[in-house]
Amino acid sequence: MSVSAAATRPQSSGPVDLGVLPSEIDGGLASRAAIGLAILATDQTLEHE
3-class SS string, 1-49: CCHHHHHHCCCCCCCCCCCCCCCCCCCCCCCCCCCCCCCCCCCCCCCCC
The amino acid sitting at 23 is S
The amino acid sitting at 47 is E
* Residue pLDDT, tens place only, 4-46: 555 565 666 777 777 777 877 677 766 666 566 666 666 666 6
pTM over 0.85: no
Residue 16 and residue 38: Cα distance in Å, rounded?
Answer: 16
